[in-house]
């Protein structure tokens, strides 16, 4: 049988017709908002509060973190009206803004910018324009298990940033707390992401990216970076005080919660995360630093941005404007305890939530030691390669060779932004 041109054209026409029927049926009146996969009860109340006030619905699609980034790539690169608004990871602001995926917010929030902590605005800014509004910020602190310290007869670390531990001290304490016979480790980093680990080379004095924000060679594989990451590797491979291959927050959290880990460097979200462990008695201390260098802490968090191609521009703007209000930010802090980006919340809660030593530490770090990740349009690529390199270093790969390869790969990808 021959399939003739006529049959072929008939098939094509049918397909097109079916397509257009589908199109006519799709009319949406809600804002589409890809969101982080936080538990439903930490997301829905925020959207419900906005709907109650304005009548505009927000369909928050809770996605696991890796899929959130991948999905945003696909949707944004499709360059159409979806999504309306989306969560922007602070350091990705430049990447989205450079590719035209974010609306400039300066005009809209012109009278409001004073209300934010300046350090939180930095990561939402690219090319001196604000593209993504900070919903909060973050810092990392040292959590320690009080029971394990008491058992080993060790004094608890001080919560005073002025008496901050050095990494050298932390190592010797970790050695005293490591007991291989019962699989107990002294210390761990919550995960293996550049967000958390870049504080090591930065405290050592390393510049982690070139001044043009596009050069990795000589920085990602610079001597200071190699030395600091060698120290990190020795923690796992030579001194064996840190567990190997625990790359995920969920896993290290369980180890700390079940008393198999004496100290963990982690974010403030652990305050909620550790609640599920009954009988866990933990204390907090500031992030350690290298004696030869300066204290540096990771920072940055989630921002919100508007897709410039949205078909619901007014509603999207209303949502972002509403999120910048005191009430919305206060509710958001109730739901997820990220250090707030509005000064007002800090002031209002100064005598209630923030008397805890944790928040005193957080406040100090945000003012003095918080160091944002590189503001490069290629942060996505930078982070991907560096994260893999850091995982390889954790499990014992040659440090210099690994970082050389990462630098080479990053530089290759950065070429498109030059």
Partner 1 sequence: MDNPFQKPHVLMLRYGLLSILAFIVVFPLVWLALASVRPQNEIFQPVSDFGWNTFIPSRFTLDNYRTLLNGDFPLAVKNSTFVALTTVLFGVVVNALAGFAFAVFDFRGKNLLFLLVIVSFMMPFEAIVLPLYVMIRAFGWANSYQALIVPEIANGMVIFLFRQFFASIPRDFYEAARVDGASWFYIFARIAMPLSWPTIATSGLMLFLAQWDSFFWPVVAASDSAYAVVQVAIARNINFEQNDWGGLFASTNLAILLGTIPFLLIQRFYVRTLISGGIK
Shortest reach from residue 83's CB to partner 1, in Å: 10
Shortest reach from residue 249's CB to partner 1, in Å: 6
Shortest reach from residue 381's CB to partner 1, in Å: 16
Is 267 one of the binding residues for partner 1 (CB under 8 A)? yes
Whether residue 83 has a cis bond before it, omega within 30° of 0: yes
Q: Binding residue for partner 1 (CB under 8 A) from 49, 63, 121, 313? A: 63
Binding window for partner 1 (CB under 8 A); candidates: 146-154, 213-221, 254-262, 382-390? 254-262
Query: Is the dihedral angle over the CA atoms 291, 292, 293, 294 positive or is it negative?
Result: positive
Is 7 one of the binding residues for partner 1 (CB under 8 A)? no
Choice between 9 and 272, CB closer to partner 1: 272
H or E segment to which residue 224 belongs: helix 223-237
Is 34 one of the binding residues for partner 1 (CB under 8 A)? yes
Is 48 one of the binding residues for partner 1 (CB under 8 A)? no
| Whole-angstrom distance, CA of residue 87 vs CA of residue 96 | 11
* End-to-end CA, the chain: 56
Is 297 one of the binding residues for partner 1 (CB under 8 A)? no
Residue 178: other Cβ atoms inside 10 A? 19
Task: Name the phi and psi angles at 416, rounded to 5.
Answer: -70, -15
214-253 residues near partner 1, rule: CB under 8 A: 248-250, 253
Choice between 109 and 280, CB closer to partner 1: 280
Choice between 217 and 244, CB closer to partner 1: 244
Shortest reach from residue 3's CB to partner 1, in Å: 5
Tokens matching residue 300: 């940055």
Binding window for partner 1 (CB under 8 A); candidates: 113-121, 151-159, 264-272, 281-289? 264-272
67-86 residues near partner 1, rule: CB under 8 A: 67, 70-71, 74-75, 77-78, 80, 82
Is 41 one of the binding residues for partner 1 (CB under 8 A)? no
The answer to whether residues 301 and 136 touch, using CB atoms and an 8 Å cutoff, is yes
Choice between 13 and 272, CB closer to partner 1: 272
| Whole-angstrom distance, CA of residue 66 vs CA of residue 60 | 16
With CB under 8 A as the rule, give the number of residues binding partner 1: 50
Choice between 6 and 418, CB closer to partner 1: 6
Tokens matching residue 248: 């995920």
Is 269 one of the binding residues for partner 1 (CB under 8 A)? yes
Q: Which of 156, 148, 102 is nearest to 129 (CA)?
A: 102
Choice between 44 and 323, CB closer to partner 1: 44
Q: Binding residue for partner 1 (CB under 8 A) from 186, 273, 340, 378? A: 273
β 140-145/125-126 pair status: unpaired
Is 180 one of the binding residues for partner 1 (CB under 8 A)? no
The answer to whether residues 156 and 283 touch, using CB atoms and an 8 Å cutoff, is yes
Helix axes 313-323, 40-54, angle to 10 degrees: 120
Q: Binding residue for partner 1 (CB under 8 A) from 109, 255, 313, 318? A: 255
The arrangement of strands across the sheet holding 282-286 comes to: 185-189, 261-267, 140-145, 282-286
H or E segment to which residue 19 belongs: helix 5-25
Q: Which of 203, 198, 138 is nearest to 164 (CA)?
A: 203
Residue 145: other Cβ atoms inside 10 A? 22
Shortest reach from residue 114's CB to partner 1, in Å: 30
Shortest reach from residue 12's CB to partner 1, in Å: 14
| Whole-angstrom distance, CA of residue 91 vs CA of residue 307 | 17
Give the C-alpha distances (Å, rounded to integers) separating 323 from 53, 136, 144, 163, 342. Answer: 12, 11, 35, 37, 11
Is 19 one of the binding residues for partner 1 (CB under 8 A)? yes
Binding window for partner 1 (CB under 8 A); candidates: 1-9, 101-109, 224-232, 344-352? 1-9
Residue 160: other Cβ atoms inside 10 A? 13
Choice between 40 and 106, CB closer to partner 1: 40
Helix axes 399-414, 223-237, angle to 10 degrees: 130
Shortest reach from residue 183's CB to partner 1, in Å: 4
Q: Binding residue for partner 1 (CB under 8 A) from 38, 247, 322, 417? A: 38
Q: For binding to partner 1 (CB under 8 A), which residues are involved?
A: 1-3, 18-20, 22-26, 34, 36-39, 59, 61-65, 67, 70-71, 74-75, 77-78, 80, 82, 182-183, 248-250, 253-255, 257-258, 260, 267, 269-270, 272-273, 276-278
């Amino acid at each position: 049988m021959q399939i003739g041109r006529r049959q072929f054209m008939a098939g094509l026409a049918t397909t097109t017709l079916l397509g257009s029927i589908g199109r006519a049926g799709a009319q949406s009146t809600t804002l589409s908002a890809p969101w982080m996969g936080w538990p439903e009860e930490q997301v829905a109340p925020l959207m419900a509060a906005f709907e109650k006030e304005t009548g505009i619905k927000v369909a928050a699609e809770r996605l696991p973190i890796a899929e959130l980034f991948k999905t945003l790539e696909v949707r944004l690169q499709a360059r159409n009206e979806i999504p309306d608004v989306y969560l922007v990871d602070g350091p990705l602001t430049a990447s989205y803004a450079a590719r035209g995926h974010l609306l400039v917010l300066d005009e809209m929030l012109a009278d409001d910018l004073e209300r934010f902590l300046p350090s939180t605005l930095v990561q939402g800014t690219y090319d001196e324009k604000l593209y993504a509004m900070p919903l909060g910020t973050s810092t990392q602190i040292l959590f320690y298990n009080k029971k394990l310290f008491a058992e080993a007869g060790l004094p608890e670390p001080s919560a005073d940033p002025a008496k901050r531990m050095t990494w050298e001290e932390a190592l010797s304490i970790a050695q005293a707390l490591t007991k291989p016979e019962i699989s107990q480790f002294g210390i761990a980093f919550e995960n293996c992401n550049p967000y958390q680990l870049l504080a090591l080379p930065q405290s050592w004095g390393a510049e982690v990216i070139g001044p043009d924000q596009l050069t990795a060679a000589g920085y990602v594989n610079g001597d200071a970076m190699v030395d600091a990451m060698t120290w990190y590797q020795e923690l796992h491979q030579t001194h064996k005080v840190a567990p190997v291959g625990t790359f995920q927050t969920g896993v290290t959290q369980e180890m700390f919660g079940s008393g198999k880990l004496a100290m963990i460097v982690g974010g403030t979200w652990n305050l909620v995360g550790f609640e599920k462990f009954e009988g866990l008695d933990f204390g907090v201390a500031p992030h350690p630093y290298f004696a030869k260098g300066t204290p540096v802490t990771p920072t940055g968090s989630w921002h919100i941005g508007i897709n410039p191609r949205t078909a619901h521009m007014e509603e999207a703007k209303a949502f972002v404007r509403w999120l910048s209000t005191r009430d919305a930010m206060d509710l958001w802090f109730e739901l997820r305890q990220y250090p707030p980006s509005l000064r007002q919340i800090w002031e209002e809660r100064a005598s209630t939530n923030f008397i805890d030593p944790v928040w005193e530490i957080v406040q100090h770090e945000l003012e003095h030691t918080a160091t944002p990740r590189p503001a490069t349009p290629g942060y996505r690529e930078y982070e991907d390669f560096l994260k893999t390199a850091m995982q390889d270093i954790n499990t014992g790969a040659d440090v210099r060779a690994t970082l050389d390869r990462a630098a080479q790969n990053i530089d290759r990808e950065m070429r498109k932004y030059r």
